[in-house]
Amino acid sequence: MKLTIIGGGGFRVPQVFEAVASDDAPVRIDELALYDVSESRLATIRAVIDRLAETRAHAPRVVATTDLTEALRGADFVFSAVRIGGTAGRILDERTALDLGVLGQETVGPGGLAYALRTVPFMTRLAEQIRDLAPDAWVINFTNPAGIVTEAMRRVLGDRVVGICDTPIGLMRRAALAATGSASAEGLSFDYVGLNHLGWLRSVAVDGQELLPALLAEDDKLRTIEEARLMGFDWVRALGALPNEYLYYYYFTREATARIRAAQSTRGEFIDHQQAEFFAHPGDDPLETWLRTRHEREASYMAESRDEDEEREDSDVDGGGYQKVALDLMAAIATGRPATMILNVRNNGLVPQLPEDAVVEVGCLVDDEGVHPWPVAPVSGDMLGLMTSVKAAERHVIDAALSGSRESAWRAFAAHPLVDSVGIARRLVDTYSEKFEAIGRLLQ
């Protein structure tokens, strides 16, 4: 089988190689094609992978190329993990929002909408090329903002594109472990519903016996769950559910914004400096440098949600990550061995208040016949309100990205619950248009 990675010069690509080349990988990849527009980044990542391959008995053949046609032709799976505008673009996404008094974060709020405006056109063209060059390929999308990008790509590829994120399945496994002593206990079932970077685990059960209320009642068990520590035990008990960690930005917007402002650098600035240093100076042993840099990057993830002296626990950092989610999805489709996952898929009435073709994030069974979402319990109240308002913003921004409508872009920013003024929404659109040439050309 051939796996193509779009964004093959990305810093985290060696993690995908580690997953597919491991002795216990559930499916074997014969060829790994790495595509990127940067030859130098490809060369550095290839050097890291070559070092990893020295100790891997099942390493696939690796091809690194700047030729998209070569990369796509014959692919069985296409994994998309690109950043249009690079880390410099992320800095502008975050700083522009902060300068106008609203949350500045990569995928949540106005920063995520700006990211979508310049990413959706590229990803739509990529979907068309995949359709033409690898019509039978499954596309696994991790390109952020993943829910928006997946929904846009679905207009070209339909059910053969699936969005992934590692945070919801990590939440479910941590909750299952705390409740049962096993992250995959026999007879385990769960109810998770939301959008990408906005969802809730509302049920954990074994053989039909609900375990979540008892879990929420015990401080000792909640201490083992990153999301409960992050949001506060009283708040998750008030919700009666465990929120995705990104809901911190919605529930604690003032605190998050204040901490980001007070930090010496934004997350985008930290990543930009760190990655520039790595790619400029990979050292005599690029693998050793990459491993050290990766640990620093993951340990500092969502640092604004923790006290200065509090580090992210290893159990939260080393839970498998997005590469394991991608591999599990590929394995289930390729082998037919069923897998339980949380994925970004077509709504199809799962949440009746949202459009049928909207992308939602829910529990699914995956096998060789595809992805099968299972029904979710009704969504109501504040959870439904948050989902519907964010989804409205997402759909407006897709329309703006595909049509070039400045009015749709304005409506997208104004509709988002983290933008508290229509006037600020317009200034966000105008400022992003000025700072990003691609957005300025798009929104004529």
Asked if 290 and 274 count as a contact pair (C-beta separation under 8 A), the reply is no
Q: What angle do CA 258, 148, 71 make, to 5 degrees?
A: 115
**Cα dihedral sign, 7-319-195-378:** positive
Would you state the pLDDT for residue 309?
52
State which H helix or E strand residue 245 sits in: none
Would you state the pLDDT for residue 315?
42
Comparing CA positions, the residue from 47, 77, 96 lying closest to residue 413 is 96
CB within 8 Å of 1: residues ≥ 6 apart: 27, 28, 29, 30, 31, 76, 77, 334
For residue 257 the two structure tokens come to 């914004």
Comparing CA positions, the residue from 174, 130, 172 lying closest to residue 313 is 174
Would you state the pLDDT for residue 204?
97
Would you state the pLDDT for residue 297?
86
Asked if 109 and 249 count as a contact pair (C-beta separation under 8 A), the reply is yes
Would you state the pLDDT for residue 277?
95
For residue 276 the two structure tokens come to 């520039």
Q: d(Cα 347, Cα 376) in Å, to the nearest integer?
A: 11
Would you state the pLDDT for residue 184?
85
Sequential DSSP letters for 334-373: HH---EEEEEEEE-TTSSTTS-TT-EEEEEEEEETTEEEE
**Angle between the 422-435 and 110-133 helix axes, to the nearest 10 degrees?**
50
Q: d(Cα 36, Cα 89) in Å, to the nearest integer?
A: 17
Q: Is 238 helix (H, G, I), strand (E, B) or coil?
A: helix
For residue 381 the two structure tokens come to 């109240």
CATH number for the segment(s) 2-163: 3.40.50.720
One digit per residue, the tens of pLDDT, for the chain of length 444 reads 999 999 999 999 999 999 999 999 999 999 999 999 999 999 999 999 999 999 999 999 999 999 999 999 999 999 999 999 999 999 999 999 999 999 999 999 999 999 999 999 999 999 999 999 999 999 999 999 999 999 999 999 999 999 999 999 999 999 999 999 998 888 999 999 999 999 999 999 999 999 999 999 999 999 999 999 999 999 999 999 999 999 999 999 999 999 999 998 988 999 999 999 999 999 999 999 999 999 888 876 666 555 555 555 544 433 468 899 999 999 999 999 999 999 999 999 999 999 999 999 999 999 999 999 999 999 999 999 999 999 999 999 999 999 999 999 999 999 999 999 999 999 999 999 999 999 999 998
CB within 8 Å of 91: residues ≥ 6 apart: 266, 268, 269, 272
- The pTM score is 0.94
Q: d(Cα 228, Cα 221) in Å, to the nearest integer?
A: 10
For residue 355 the two structure tokens come to 């459009």
Number of other CB atoms surrounding residue 143 within 10 Å? 24
Q: What are phi and psi of 174, to 5 degrees?
A: -65, -40
Q: d(Cα 78, Cα 134) in Å, to the nearest integer?
A: 9
